Amino acid sequence: MLVTNHVLSGAVIGAVVRRPISAFVVGVGSHFVLDSVPHWGKFGGGRRFFLVAVPDGLVGLAAMWIMTAIAPPDRRAAVFAGMAGAALPDLDKPSMVAFGRSPFPRAVNEFHVVIQREGSRRAHYEVAFALAFSCVALRLLRWRVGK
């Protein structure tokens, strides 16, 4: 699953969960649930990987900024925590590129690999997830602003 979708799902979690620590923990758990759903991910290594990963990372950061900015002040920390937790397990990828190793224990890395349900012709799944998570997050955050 692209990190942008993990971030957007974390925004949904943070919009629903009231406590930042709880939102963070649920966000981390959601990462592994989403990675076990069929998704796009086998787009090759090397240059092709970076052609997807760099824009995805930048869009994910922009989504974090936008969702945090539009969250009501009383939900802002939980929304940010949910997004941070949901994105955290994917720190293994840039860490592998930059340092040649994952920051996580071997058991976590192995579990993360085993649960993946990636396919090369599933980019449309990523778009569908992004639209769904965006709509739900925006609806929840807009609804909460007026309450």
* pLDDT (tens digit per residue) in 83-135: 999 999 999 988 888 898 999 999 999 999 899 988 888 888 889 999 999 99
Largest CA distance in the chain: 48
- Token pair recorded at residue 108: 């976590």
Global pTM value? 0.91
Angle at 64 between CA 63 and CA 66, to 5 degrees: 60
- Quote the CA–CA distance of 134 and 74 in Å, as a whole number: 20
- Contact present, 31 and 84 (Cβ < 8 Å): no
* pLDDT (tens digit per residue) in 36-50: 998 888 766 677 888
pLDDT value of position 119: 83
